[in-house]
Structure 1
Amino acid sequence: MKHLLAILAATTTLAGAAQAQDITEFNIGILGGENAQDRLTNQECFRAKIEETLGVPVKLFAPADYDGVIQGLLGGTIDYAWLGASAFAKIHLTDPNAVELKLTKQNIDGSTGYYSIGFARADSGITSIEDAKGKVFAFADPNSTSGYLVPGAELIATYGPLEQYFSEVKMSGGHEQSIVGVHNGDFDAAVSWADGLGNWEDGYNSGAFRRAADAGLVDMNNLVEIWRSKLIPEGPMVIRSALPQEVKDKVTTLTADLWETDPECAYNVAAGDAKDFVPVDLSAYEGVLAARKLQEGM
């Protein structure tokens, strides 16, 4: 969508340009899901591009869990992040004015959603959630959409309390930990995320499986899909509302044009193959907001 948002730059006022000089750095938060060094390495090209565009130092932050990014955006220590829908919902329900929705990932087929994928080792004899009954099951993180909120709700609706259905329910700490944990036999089954397009043996086109396969952490032929959620709205890229308008416009335009200007960097940011980064608004997350309210007892 090259230049789709270029009009934003054209409408920046002189006052906005003066405001932009007030920022002395820009901080990008990266959600958990893989080890910190891999997260930083995959996002380095993006960091460098934003630094060149803004003319101030840009830093990457890879907290140990999702809540580190959530609290950073709420507290003003993180300026920009690609969130899962559930993580965004937590921010919006805490402070609806903290961040602005900007973009989301568009898949190769034009869709803007993904799936929570249940999986097990191919040699485990587990080919369905029913086969996983009485086994050790792992979710990723309490603030993960595909790694907890959606699969937890769907599985409970079908099978009842999961602590009674599985022998043990664990939080792995992230999507990579879930995938490697099942691959290595630490968990019998787990859930992680993927666009569900392309080939299983590649880790699908994009998502946590693709990232793990690309990194050589797992051989996807050793794993098997055992369950799939309903389609989940792809999480949003958000920027802190209090930033100068010129800064918000420049970062949004750079991201929106990334697949055209640097496909390799866009692949790293998107965790695999995708079509584009496209605008998104609050209506995309109404269902997740409602689910999060229930989870929080609001």
Structure 2
Amino acid sequence: MKTLILALAATTALTGAAAAETIKEFNIGILGGENAQDRMTNLECFRAKVEAELGVPTKLFTPADYDGVIQGLLGGTLDFAWLGASAYAKTYLTNPEAVDVMLTKQNVDGTTGYYSIGFAKADSGIKSIEDAKDKVFAFADPNSTSGYLVPGAELQEAHGKLEEFFSEVKMSGGHEQSIVGVANGDFDAAVAWADGLGNWEDGFNSGAFRKAADSGLVDMSTLTEIWRSKLIPEGPMVVRKSAPQDVKDKMYALLDTMWETDPTCAYAVAAGEAKDFVPVKHEDYLGILAARKLQEAQ
């Protein structure tokens, strides 16, 4: 990985005054998907590591929705975030010079993708997406890849206008809210993200179900899978493009080695079990960019 780090530095190196820029603080944006306090608690280890590595005060920011993180990156108030592919697409389409992509999660089987998983209560009688017709269905957030963009497109292609297929379509506000909402009977069915590996009763190996199961928010045996999307590219960790190169290099190296140096913290960052964090590039998201353009045009 050292070669990759050096290559990244060489291809994106800054010159002159920009290279000498220093930072006084570093701000990390955390996408929604679970309540703000849980996000802060689970990622405190990461915040502390970044602060120690960069030598400046480091803060976590937990906006109420995905757009809060996107706007923070666009406005320069956030320096780093792990975006979903759709959120990255919105960021890039708004300002191609806002962020650089860095790394993403590699699953235990070597893949770098995940799924949108449709689910319902196990005792609801809903065993397939067809059984959810004329029921209340929840997506997570308009800027979520697995919580809206991909499942919305795939389900619409298969079943037509979703507002006519389901009795009501709602936005829960996040993956955790969707899971808890179905478990509590607020929605008949919903979608949330998972790597699709491992056991259902554990919430798979990683993803929103795993986090909800680990935190005791839901007993997975009370839920059942009713639908699964095509494989979705795992979203990129991004850093503010105008950040000093040494800051980018330190963040890259920290994440690149985290599964070796601190697997417990890496587990928290990855929302479950994974193999590694591996490099990605802008071109890996061209398909999602095209889908996002189409969605916005409609």
Which band: TM-score by shorter chain?
Answer: over 0.9
CA deviation map 1:92-119 (0-9, x unaligned):
1011111001001000000000000000
Query: Aligned partners of 1:185, 1:78: CA distance in 2, in Å?
Result: 36
Asked if the contact 1:5–1:253 (Cα under 8 Å) also holds between the matched residues in 2, the reply is: no
- What is the aligned-residue identity percentage? 74
Asked if the contact 2:14–2:245 (Cα under 8 Å) also holds between the matched residues in 1, the reply is: no
Query: Aligned partners of 1:221, 1:191: CA distance in 2, in Å?
Result: 16
Aligned residues: 296
Matches within 5 A, 1:112-127: 112-127=112-127
User: In the alignment, what sits opposite 1:195?
Assistant: 195
Matches within 5 A, 1:32-51: 32-51=32-51
Query: Aligned partners of 1:190, 1:129: CA distance in 2, in Å?
Result: 10
Q: Which stretch shifts more, 261-270 or 279-288?
A: 279-288
1:128–1:242 Cα change, 3 Å: same
Matches within 5 A, 1:217-232: 217-232=217-232
Query: Aligned partners of 2:217, 2:120: CA distance in 1, in Å?
Result: 15
User: In the alignment, what sits opposite 1:257?
Assistant: 257
Asked if the contact 2:9–2:245 (Cα under 8 Å) also holds between the matched residues in 1, the reply is: no
CA deviation map 1:33-61 (0-9, x unaligned):
00000111111101101100110000000
Letter of the 1:203 partner, please give it: G
User: In the alignment, what sits opposite 2:279?
Assistant: 279
Asked if the contact 2:102–2:238 (Cα under 8 Å) also holds between the matched residues in 1, the reply is: yes
Asked if the contact 2:140–2:172 (Cα under 8 Å) also holds between the matched residues in 1, the reply is: yes
User: In the alignment, what sits opposite 2:94?
Assistant: 94
Structure 1: where are the runs of 5+ without partners? none
Matches within 5 A, 1:1-298: 3=2, 5-7=4-6, 19-20=20-21, 22-297=22-297
Asked if the contact 1:16–1:245 (Cα under 8 Å) also holds between the matched residues in 2, the reply is: no
Query: Aligned partners of 1:4, 1:146: CA distance in 2, in Å?
Result: 33
Letter of the 1:190 partner, please give it: A
Query: Aligned partners of 1:103, 1:294: CA distance in 2, in Å?
Result: 26
Asked if the contact 1:9–1:246 (Cα under 8 Å) also holds between the matched residues in 2, the reply is: no
- Equivalent position SS for 2:43: helix
- Equivalent position SS for 2:217: coil
CA-based RMSD of the aligned residues comes to: 1.8
- Equivalent position SS for 1:131: helix
Cα offset for 1:222? Answer: 0.2
Cα offset for 1:19? Answer: 2.4
CA deviation map 1:246-293 (0-9, x unaligned):
011101110111101000000000000000000001121111000000
* TM-score, normalised via structure 2 length: 0.96
- Equivalent position SS for 2:131: coil
Asked if the contact 1:129–1:226 (Cα under 8 Å) also holds between the matched residues in 2, the reply is: yes
Query: Aligned partners of 1:8, 1:48: CA distance in 2, in Å?
Result: 27
Cα offset for 1:17? Answer: 10
Cα offset for 1:238? Answer: 0.3
CA deviation map 1:204-228 (0-9, x unaligned):
0000000000000000000000000
Asked if the contact 1:16–1:246 (Cα under 8 Å) also holds between the matched residues in 2, the reply is: no
Query: Aligned partners of 2:233, 2:101: CA distance in 1, in Å?
Result: 13
Query: Aligned partners of 1:13, 1:225: CA distance in 2, in Å?
Result: 48
Letter of the 2:277 partner, please give it: F
* TM-score, normalised via structure 1 length: 0.96
CA deviation map 1:157-197 (0-9, x unaligned):
00000000000000000000000000111000000000000
Query: Aligned partners of 2:103, 2:187: CA distance in 1, in Å?
Result: 35
Letter of the 2:48 partner, please give it: A
Asked if the contact 2:19–2:245 (Cα under 8 Å) also holds between the matched residues in 1, the reply is: no
Asked if the contact 2:138–2:171 (Cα under 8 Å) also holds between the matched residues in 1, the reply is: yes
Query: Aligned partners of 1:7, 1:210: CA distance in 2, in Å?
Result: 35
Query: Aligned partners of 1:46, 1:285: CA distance in 2, in Å?
Result: 26
